[in-house]
Amino acid sequence: MTNEIKNWINRDGITFLSNKGIRKGFNVVDFGSGNGHYTLPAAKIVSTEGRVYAIEKDKNTLRKLMQTAEKEGLSNIIIPISPEQEKSLQFDLDDEIMDYALIYDVLHYFSEIERKEIYREIHRILKIGGILSVYPKHNKNDWPLWNLSNMDLEDIIKEITEMKFKFKGKESVELFHDEGYDTGFILEFRKEKNQKLT
């Protein structure tokens, strides 16, 4: 692990996610967790009273994440999807159990239909008042790639608010992308009362 990654996981990532509203005792879901650059600092914040659920389709990546978690003494990271379900976008998680959801640097993998399925699932598992935080890297104005290359931030905000999330704001921040520090926009949404999706 590089010094930059260590500094992010142990210091700056904790500050970043705390500033974004993750708190001790929260249940957090990290969709497309990768090797845990957000999962690990989130697990440190929520501590033993909370849980971080890492949803990641790549088994090797998950193995690396769990190895790092073990080295860091973290036992509150849960892998909710069993191997036979790994291609599904239906999460193996109960309704309304999460305080916070992260969708960071992963939306570009999915078609519009798939993204809507993901928002629907996140909406289902979030508690009322729960937060959805999105880092839409690879949109039209930030190294465009794959399914997000023709969408700007306003398009993404519109798409997510159409799925009954309330838009709370966007912020340009220093964050971690792949193996190093970067700047990018974070979008924040909330699941409001009486906005169940049909």
Ligand X SMILES: C[S@@+](CC[C@H](N)C(=O)[O-])C[C@H]1O[C@@H](n2cnc3c(N)ncnc32)[C@H](O)[C@@H]1O
In the complex, what is the shortest distance from the CB of residue 184 to ligand X, in angstroms, rounded to a whole number?
10
**Residue whose pair of structure tokens reads 């999706």 in the numeric block:** 197
Selected binder of ligand X within 18, 23, 58, 152 (CB under 6 A)? 58
In the complex, what is the shortest distance from the CB of residue 125 to ligand X, in angstroms, rounded to a whole number?
14
C-beta separation of 45 from 74 below 8 A:
no
> Which residue has the closest beta carbon to ligand X?
34
The answer to whether residue 53 forms part of the interface with ligand X (CB under 6 A) is no
Selected binder of ligand X within 23, 57, 164, 170 (CB under 6 A)? 57
Q: Give the integer Cα–Cα distance in Å for 144 and 102.
A: 20
> Cβ closer to ligand X: 78 or 166?
78
C-beta separation of 177 from 105 below 8 A:
yes
The answer to whether residue 68 forms part of the interface with ligand X (CB under 6 A) is no
For ligand X, which stretch binds (CB under 6 A), given 11-19, 50-58, 69-77, 187-195? 50-58
Burial of 125 (0-12, 13-18, 19+ CB in 10 A): buried
For ligand X, which stretch binds (CB under 6 A), given 4-12, 20-28, 100-108, 140-148? 100-108
Q: Cβ contacts of residue 176 below 8 Å, gap of 6+?
A: 5, 8, 12, 13, 16, 37, 38, 182
The answer to whether residue 61 forms part of the interface with ligand X (CB under 6 A) is yes
Which residues lie near ligand X (CB under 6 A)? 32-34, 37-38, 55-58, 61, 104-106, 109
